[in-house]
Amino acid sequence: MVFASHNNIISGLGFSTEENYQAVLNSKLAVKKTTLPFSKEEFCLATIDQTLLNNRFSNIDDPKHFTKLEQLSILSINEVITNSGINPSDEKTVLIYSTTKGNIDLLEKEKTSNIDKKRAYLFEFANVLKSHFNFKNNPIVLSNACISGILAIIIAKRFIEKGTYNHVIVCGGDIISEFTLSGFKSFNALSNEACRPFDKARVGINLGEAVSSILITNHKSLSKPYETQIISGFSANDANHISGPSRTGDGLLQCLNQLNITSTNHIGFISAHGTATVFNDEMESVAIERAHLTDIPVNSLKGYYGHTLGAAGVLETILSLESLKNQTLISSAGFKNKGVTGKISVIEQFEKKSFQSFIKTAAGFGGCNAAAFFSKI
């Protein structure tokens, strides 16, 4: 069995999983209208306050020598290692880091700092984490667009089942940069208001920054936080278009079918990718319907956090685990009126419910899709 264990979320809603979960229960949103130093325009984004971060990070090391993403990642992974007691130097322990752009802000010429620009290379970034924690194994960096987070968890499970590792810390993170913001803007994919997954009035995403870490392990003693195992997980490609999803949700359907769900009875919810673009949410609803999973209520957490790219799959899985542990369905923030053709039902209020399991889905640029199934032991 492979278990989901200790974890951490750092986001605009707090520096711990507990803080984040409580904030979500109180319908707090990390997304806010923000003006950034490089643009006169106002965007709706979820940022993490650098001053707060520097203060926290100073307890560990000098913030001047680390990028924002490095500071966040070190803080987050540190929580997981401390709480679980695992030894990073153990040869059957590894870090899998999920990110789309890493330290991409280092490409900005105007930025003057003591930080070596070579850390724009993802493996150099990973080496900073390796050195800090004294990991024996080189971290594995996974850069597979927005499915990276959940895919990293699936890959962790596969490596553990194969016997290559016993413990895998999966850490996912991305920061907001002019690079990413301008790019999504050129795609006309941004919303100026808080985003509205699955809603009729949805117009696009909000970008969010976050880092989240979770320990995936085969040690039963570490299963205590959630008593939950990862049953299965798969990825697939639409083979259709490099930036738009398949209109018929082919790739995601292939993933959902492979989960081989025979009964939807005890499945509490589907934690959807739900980015709030016109195309993604429509595609997901179609895939869920074609997979005969419409009985299972759906939510998206991106109304709270925005799209956190490399962190999304990890962050959203962790909150889904909290949801399962607390037997509480999380309301899908930003949703009022259904605006997708697939016959899904979106969770509109927080609700106590008795359930055993949940499904997590994701999709990303490059036509990639992923789905995973988590269940109480």
Round to whole Å and give the CA distance between 3 and 105.
35
Shortest spacing between CB 60 and another protein, in angstroms: 25
> Would you count residue 158 as binding another protein (CB under 8 A)?
yes
Q: Does the footprint of another protein cover residue 248 (CB under 8 A)?
A: no
Site for another protein in 109-128 (CB under 8 A): 109, 120-123, 126-127
State in angstroms the smallest separation of the CB of 326 from another protein: 32
131 in contact with another protein (CB under 8 A):
no
| Dmax (CA) of the chain | 56
From the CB of residue 294, how many other CB atoms can be counted at a distance below 10 Å? 17
Identify the burial level of 183 via C-beta atoms within 10 angstroms of its C-beta, where 0-12 means exposed, 13-18 middle and 19 or more buried.
Answer: middle
Cα–Cα distance for residue pair 41/325, rounded to 1 Å: 41
Q: Considering the complex, what minimum distance in angstroms separates the CB of residue 25 from another protein? A: 34
Stretch that binds another protein, among 19-27, 58-66, 194-202, 363-371 (CB under 8 A): 363-371
- Evaluate whether 171 touches 98 at the Cβ level (below 8 Å): yes
Report, in Å, the least distance between residue 122 CB and another protein: 4
Angle, alpha carbons 120-125-128 (nearest 5°): 140
Query: Which stretch in 81-89, 101-109, 262-270, 345-353 sits in contact with another protein by CB under 8 A?
Result: 101-109
Whole-number minimum distance, CB 33 to another protein, in Å? 19
Rounded to whole angstroms, the Cα distance separating 321 from 324 reads: 5
Closest distance of CB 73 from another protein, Å: 15
* Beta-sheet strand order (sheet of 42-46): 32-35, 42-46, 207-208
Does residue 280 belong to the site contacting another protein (CB under 8 A)?
no
Q: Closest separation between CB of residue 26 and another protein, Å?
A: 35
Closer to another protein by CB, 82 or 237: give it: 237
User: Could you tell me if 99 and 143 are in contact, meaning their C-beta atoms sit under 8 angstroms apart?
Assistant: yes
Token reading at 201? 């009035």
Angle at 106 between CA 105 and CA 112, to 5 degrees: 110
Interface stretch with another protein, choices 54-62, 295-303, 334-342, 358-366 (CB under 8 A):
358-366
- Binding of residue 368 to another protein (CB under 8 A): yes
Q: Are 172 and 80 in contact (CB under 8 A)?
A: no
Q: Tell me the closest approach of the beta carbon of residue 253 to another protein, in angstroms.
A: 10
Query: Which segment (4-12, 61-69, 194-202, 366-374) binds another protein by CB under 8 A?
Result: 366-374
Rounded-to-integer distance, Cα 306 and Cα 83, Å: 28
> Per CB under 8 A, which region of 46-54, 63-71, 161-169, 204-212 contacts another protein?
161-169
Within residues 183-222, the interface with another protein by CB under 8 A covers 183, 185-188
In angstroms, what CA-CA distances link 307 with 9, 35, 115, 206, 212?
14, 18, 27, 6, 13
Beta-carbon contacts of residue 86 (< 8 Å; ≥ 6 apart) = 93, 167, 169, 215, 217, 222
Q: Which stretch binds another protein (CB under 8 A): 142-150, 296-304, 343-351, 354-362?
A: 142-150
Which chain residues interact with another protein by CB under 8 A?
A: 100-102, 104, 107-109, 120-123, 126-127, 138, 140-145, 147, 151, 155, 158-159, 161-162, 164, 178-179, 182-183, 185-188, 234-244, 250-251, 254, 258, 364-368
